[in-house]
Amino acid sequence: MTSIGLAQIAIVLIAVIVAAVPLGGYIARVLAGERSLLTPALSPIERAFYRLAGVDPTRDQNWLAYTMAMLAFSVVGFGSLYALQRLQAYLPLNPQGFGGVPADLAFNTSMSFITNTNWQNYGGESTMSHLTQMLGLTVHNFVSAATGLAMAFALVRGFSRAESPTIGNFWVDLTRSTLYVLLPLSIVVALALVALGVPQTLQGSIEATTLEGAKQTLAIGPVASQEAIKELGTNGGGFFNANSAHPFESPNALSNMLEIWALLVVPFATAFAFGRAVSDYRQGRAVAITMMIVLVTGVLIAYWAEASGNPLLTEIGVDPSPGNMEGKEVRFGSAMSALFAASTTGTSCGAVNSMHDSFMPLGGLVPLFNMLMGSIAPGGVGAGLYGFLVLAIIAVFVAGLMVGRTPEYLGKKIEVREMKLAMLAVLIYPLTVLVFTGVSVMLQTGLASLNNAGPHGLSEILYAFASATDNNGSAFAGLTGNTLWYNTTLGVAMLLGRFAFVIPVLAIAGSFAAKKKGAPSVGTFPTHGPLFIGLLLGVIIVLYLLQYFPALALGPIVEHFALLAGKTF
């Protein structure tokens, strides 16, 4: 690890926080329906949308209606995206003349984009027409993230409202999240990326003559616009198969830093927005600090693991000073690759600028564990906050008992119903990840996709299901995902990871909103101080370590010790 590397990491993270605090205030205002900077410009458009859709923006929904609206929207999104892919050969804006996408891949891709996962079992530049990319994928990059933000605020309203039957209006939240938050931010970031050299054109490809005089076809397209929302919406689906490692997606160190900033800023801002929405800034700050500690710990472990280099290569005389450079871009190096890896999995983004498969075992453990924790540091747009708050509810429950009171979080008592729903949500992850992984390693069809044997192969499958369930979308690579088995199971995992998790969360929102708000006293322990942060960290680490320790022991952990012993697989 070098001081320059650490300084680079620090600069990006500080820039994130500096921007996240005001952005959080802005998001809170937007989702509370208050006036903000952009209201004069955007409210006519907003009102036009409501008129067009026949939505009464002043009418709030109860949790069930909210959930049904969200599900209906997702179902329609899934159907239209599926159709678009299957029929792209007959539709315009297909300069490369790609054929229709096969059924299982189209299923997987549709599920992937409506759940904000952006797992890509395809190479974008060689599978999807411009129309599919722009009208299908890019649209979902916006609305799936906006859906996440909407659901997070539905939960936040559960805390901020008292004795209320409603938790907001899904259509309003969706519209405002897209229009006021994601769209303006994307325009700014896309322009910045274009300035840094990222292409933005409707042309399909360009012919280039190499130094040897050979002709080469370079795929280009509307890259910068998709790139911006890819990061800001924590989507992660790259225009190119090589994602942010591709020089057209991220041409230099500065664009790399901008992309990391972009993928972290909205989730952190959401944490601060939460504080503002519950009228206690410190609550949001405590959440953000906890997320930051988990993130930074992961970054440092990964950086340390990568910067130390591969002992087996060092032994045969390779200079260890640049660290383990396999699968990394020279223009990014270990520090920025480690930061990107931890950030993209700490959020549910899933974009990559290096091959996680090529990380050292412990370096690869970080993104894997980040996703197994459900990407809560700081998590996907919206999804991070509601995932985190579910954990906070469980932590508060145990801690609340320890101070001798019926546990309450932000004045809301945590009782049987909330506990049932929270456990239901928490169960989904191990159920999906471990069961699918377990079944995959028993099936020939599951093992056939592996490019590596031994513990690394196990890590690859575990990673794939963690990534899908968590709606992350990053791949460990090394696993051929575009098969009937993985297209289907990963698609189902994404479905469960998003909807089976969030339906109980919205039910919790409804249940909390209906409750009275208890008054804080010395007898209720504060949920904004260092003690609470420590407690949250403890609960998060212990809870997830206990769930995944055996699987991790057989994957990256044993690989690490074997590597130290000079053994490879």
Which of 143, 229, 335, 557 is in the footprint of other proteins by CB under 8 A? 557
DSSP-assigned letter for residue 218 = E
Torsion 7-259-367-243 (CA) sign: negative
If one counts every other C-beta atom within 10 angstroms of the C-beta of residue 492, the result is: 17
- Which is closer to other proteins, CB of 200 or CB of 547? 547
Using alpha carbons, select from 491, 496, 498, 380 the residue that is nearest to residue 121.
491
Q: x/- site string to other proteins, residues 500 to 539, per CB under 8 A?
A: ----------------xxxx-xxxxxx--x-x--xx--x-
Using alpha carbons, select from 290, 293, 224 the residue that is nearest to residue 259.
224
Site for other proteins in 450-489 (CB under 8 A): 454-455, 457-458
Which of 72, 439, 464, 509 is in the footprint of other proteins by CB under 8 A? 439
The four Cα atoms 251, 254, 255, 259 give a dihedral, to 10 degrees, of 140
| Residues whose CB is less than 8 angstroms from the CB of residue 100 and which lie 6 or more positions away in sequence, other chains included | 85, 86, 87, 88, 89, 106
Crossing angle for the helix pair 223-232 and 253-277, to the nearest 10 degrees:
40
For residues 178 and 233, give the distance between their C-alpha atoms in angstroms, rounded to a whole number: 10
| Residues whose CB is less than 8 angstroms from the CB of residue 312 and which lie 6 or more positions away in sequence, other chains included | 563, 566, 568
- Which is closer to other proteins, CB of 84 or CB of 426? 426
Question: Is there binding between residue 289 and other proteins (CB under 8 A)?
Answer: no
- Which is closer to other proteins, CB of 203 or CB of 406? 406
Instruction: Measure the CA angle with vertex 407, ends 403 and 410; round to 5°.
Output: 110
Number of residues located near other proteins, criterion CB under 8 A: 69
Instruction: Measure the CA angle with vertex 27, ends 537 and 44; round to 5°.
Output: 160
Q: Please list the alpha-helical segments (H only) found in 278-374.
A: 281-307, 311-315, 333-346, 361-372
- Strand, helix or coil for residue 161: coil
- Which is closer to other proteins, CB of 24 or CB of 457? 457
- Which is closer to other proteins, CB of 389 or CB of 458? 458
378 cis-preceded (ω within 30 degrees of 0): yes
Q: Which two tokens stand for residue 156?
A: 């936040």
- Which is closer to other proteins, CB of 75 or CB of 549? 549
Q: x/- site string to other proteins, residues 379 to 398, per CB under 8 A?
A: ---------------x--xx
Length of the chain: 569
Question: Is there binding between residue 76 and other proteins (CB under 8 A)?
Answer: no
The region of 266-274, 292-300, 328-336, 542-550 touching other proteins under the rule CB under 8 A is: 542-550
Shortest distance (Å) from residue 421 CB to other proteins: 10
Using alpha carbons, select from 320, 388, 380, 304 the residue that is nearest to residue 345.
380
Question: Is there binding between residue 401 and other proteins (CB under 8 A)?
Answer: yes
Shortest distance (Å) from residue 184 CB to other proteins: 39
Question: Is there binding between residue 75 and other proteins (CB under 8 A)?
Answer: no
Which amino acid appears at position 276 of this protein? R
β-pairing verdict for 215-219 and 205-209: antiparallel
For residues 344 and 363, give the distance between their C-alpha atoms in angstroms, rounded to a whole number: 14
- Which is closer to other proteins, CB of 282 or CB of 517? 517
Shortest distance (Å) from residue 94 CB to other proteins: 42
- Which is closer to other proteins, CB of 75 or CB of 398? 398
- Strand, helix or coil for residue 354: strand
Question: Is there binding between residue 47 and other proteins (CB under 8 A)?
Answer: no
- Which is closer to other proteins, CB of 93 or CB of 543? 543
356, 374 in Cβ contact below 8 A? no
Shortest distance (Å) from residue 457 CB to other proteins: 8
Question: Is there binding between residue 561 and other proteins (CB under 8 A)?
Answer: yes
The region of 87-95, 262-270, 356-364, 436-444 touching other proteins under the rule CB under 8 A is: 436-444
If one counts every other C-beta atom within 10 angstroms of the C-beta of residue 261, the result is: 22
Which of 48, 480, 542, 568 is in the footprint of other proteins by CB under 8 A? 542
- Which is closer to other proteins, CB of 17 or CB of 162? 162
The region of 43-51, 343-351, 421-429, 500-508 touching other proteins under the rule CB under 8 A is: 421-429
Question: Is there binding between residue 311 and other proteins (CB under 8 A)?
Answer: no
- Which is closer to other proteins, CB of 252 or CB of 524? 524
Question: Is there binding between residue 312 and other proteins (CB under 8 A)?
Answer: no
166, 158 in Cβ contact below 8 A? no
Q: Site residues (CB under 8 A) for other proteins?
A: 162, 394, 397-406, 411, 414-416, 418-420, 423-424, 426-427, 430-431, 434-435, 437-439, 441-442, 447, 454-455, 457-458, 516-519, 521-526, 529, 531, 534-535, 538, 542, 545-551, 553-554, 557-558, 561-562, 564-565, 567
